Amino acid sequence: MPKKQKQEKTKEESKKKISQEEFEKKVIELAKTGLTAEKIGENLRKEGIHPKEYNKKISKILKEKNMYIIPEIKNLEEKLERISKHWEKNKQDKRAMRERERILSQIRKLKKYHGLI
């Protein structure tokens, strides 16, 4: 019997709704740690806070505070960093050199598309 009571309490605790201002503060706090909008949403859902219950989208909140990072570009830049580090150690690796150039061109195209260049 006690197990059922514990499960009911955790469900009740996770259903507590925070205000819109607290939600925005939480989003900004997570963004300062370097997370993208998608990862912020995942973290909030793990805590029991569902972003769809609030008026603003996470990306819109971040854009208002000029903290929005385009996730595609961020992921490609991280990949480029890893490949460049590998290529510096292994200059003979032609495949890594080609991959590095390919990713650079993808980043350039995305930045041009989003108007960052």
Provide the whole-model pTM.
Answer: 0.69
The model's pLDDT over 69-84, given as tens digits with 9 standing for 90+, comes to 899 999 999 999 999 9
Tell me if 108 is assigned to some domain. yes
Tell me if 34 is assigned to some domain. yes
Tell me if 91 is assigned to some domain. yes
Whether 53 and 23 map to the same domain: the answer is yes
Number of independent structural domains in the chain:
2
Closest CA to 79 of 110, 56, 53: 110
Tell me if 1 is assigned to some domain. no
Query: Which domain covers residue 25, as residue numbers?
Result: 17-64
Task: Judge contact between 48 and 14, C-beta under 8 A.
Answer: yes
Distance CA 106, CA 112 (A): 10
Whether 52 and 87 map to the same domain: the answer is no
Tell me if 5 is assigned to some domain. no
Tell me if 53 is assigned to some domain. yes
Confidence of residue 95 (pLDDT cuts 50, 70, 90): very high
Tell me if 10 is assigned to some domain. no
Tell me if 11 is assigned to some domain. no
**pLDDT exceeds 90 at position 6:** no
Whether 59 and 23 map to the same domain: the answer is yes
Confidence of residue 116 (pLDDT cuts 50, 70, 90): confident
Whether 24 and 58 map to the same domain: the answer is yes
Q: How far apart are the first and last CA of the chain?
A: 63
